[in-house]
Amino acid sequence: MSTAPLLVASHLSRTYRLPSESLLGGHATLRAVDDVSLTIERGRSFGIVGESGSGKSTLARLVMALEMPDSGTVRIQGKDLLSLPASELRRHRRGFQMVFQDPYGSLDPRQRVARIVAEPLDVAEPSLPRAVRNERVAAMLEAVGLQASAAARYPHEFSGGQRQRIALARALITAPALIVADEPVSALDVSVQAQVLNLLMDLQDRHGVTYLFISHNLAVVEHIADEVGVMYRGRIVERGPAAELFAHPGHPYTLALIEAIPDPMAVVSARPPATARGESPSATSGCAFAPHCPRAQPRCLAERPELQEIAPGRRAACHYPSERRGRE
């Protein structure tokens, strides 16, 4: 097996045309994803964190070739997805699957679990004998901690956590090398979220699955990701090994995100709460975060910072990144 990275996304950009403000007015545009590159090695997890509007879900759809970028390339296992003819792309889809946030909306309520889980397999291997197919479905349901008898039931008979297991079984049935998971545990209760996260980690250990894991929850990402990219206004503003990045954030936005998370133990240790920072930033020709950045200088408004190395393996798009220091 090759040692080449499993996923290489290069310089992805995607611009949306916004509805015009007036009947005769021109259209404004929104750069949902702006020159994003990332690489994931086989069997590793890359976490994307960011708030709504950061472009993280658009990035997921671009990587899955569910949407075409304006520019840039996506290579999975060396294949350039965006240049493949439609029929060949369909054939390759078995190698990368997606899990969505909403375990209620993403499963067809009129289909039995067996059909929902088998669907990607039916597309990838339409000539598979019925008995083999059903065996694979049963084995997959058991692998995600459901009973094989679940196959005969409908989605509404299951709880949220169980539905997310069904979605995972469906994503894994073609033995994909890459799973793109967009907020896969965000709709779940804490106790169920822990079960699904453990399952994701077990599946990676057992089958060597590679994850592109998207979440607004930093603690969740810290548990599951080897490497993390922080997105803000369509760009990755900081990236690096998860433990390093969370312990010593270099970009002021990363720091703001970390400080905004309410820590239940803060009340016990009587740590003062962090100050909140502004919302709905306006566009500038410089750094998008500058209007809300405590560290902003005139240069930040004028000149857009590019991702640059701030420490070995660590990159931040900031003119004035934090010095590496202890957080105490």
Partner 1 sequence: MSILEAEHLAVSIATETGALPVVRDISFRLDRGTTLGLVGESGSGKSMTALALMRLLPEIATATGAVRLLGEDLLQADEDRLCAVRGDRMAMVFQEPMTSLNPVHRIGDQIAETLILHRGAERRAALEEAARLLDRVGIGTARARLAAYPHQLSGGQRQRVMIAMALACRPDVVIADEPTSALDVTVQAQIVDLLRGLVEEIGLALILISHDLGVIGRLADRVMVMYGGAVMEEGDTRTVFAVRAHPYTQGLFAALPSRGARKGKRLAVIPGTVPSPDALPPGCPFYGRCPRGQDVCRENTPPAVAIDGSLARCFFPGPPP
What does the binding site for partner 1 look like in residue numbers (CB under 8 A)?
A: 51-52, 159-162, 189-195, 197-198, 201, 205, 216-220, 222-226, 242-243, 246-247, 256-268, 270, 273-274, 276-280
Task: Give the Cα separation of 232 and 230 in Å (integer).
Answer: 7
Write down the least CB distance from residue 285 to partner 1, Å: 23
Coil/strand/helix, residue 300: helix
Write down the least CB distance from residue 214 to partner 1, Å: 14
- What lies within 8 Å, CB to CB, of 34 at 6+ separation is 13, 55, 233, 234, 235
**Closest CB to partner 1 among residues 124, 221:** 221
Write down the least CB distance from residue 294 to partner 1, Å: 13
**Closest CB to partner 1 among residues 192, 317:** 192
**Closest CB to partner 1 among residues 178, 242:** 242
**Closest CB to partner 1 among residues 177, 256:** 256
Residue 193 phi, psi (nearest 5): -55, -40
Q: Which helix (H) or strand (E) holds 30?
A: strand 29-40
Beta carbons of 171 and 179 less than 8 angstroms apart:
yes
**Closest CB to partner 1 among residues 222, 238:** 222
Write down the least CB distance from residue 196 to partner 1, Å: 10
**What is the token pair recorded at 223?**
């548990």
Task: Give the Cα separation of 311 and 317 in Å (integer).
Answer: 13
**Closest CB to partner 1 among residues 125, 244:** 244
Write down the least CB distance from residue 258 to partner 1, Å: 8
CA torsion sign for 239, 263, 180, 72 is negative
Task: Give the Cα separation of 310 and 254 in Å (integer).
Answer: 14
Class of residue 297 by CB neighbours under 10 A (exposed 0-12, middle 13-18, buried 19+): middle
- R_g over Cα of the chain: 21
**Closest CB to partner 1 among residues 81, 227:** 227
**Closest CB to partner 1 among residues 124, 256:** 256
Alpha-carbon dihedral angle through residues 182, 178, 66, 98, given to the nearest 10 degrees: -40
| Sheet of strand 29-40, all strands in order from the earlier edge strand to the far edge | 29-40, 7-17, 71-76, 79-80
Task: Give the Cα separation of 121 and 170 in Å (integer).
Answer: 9
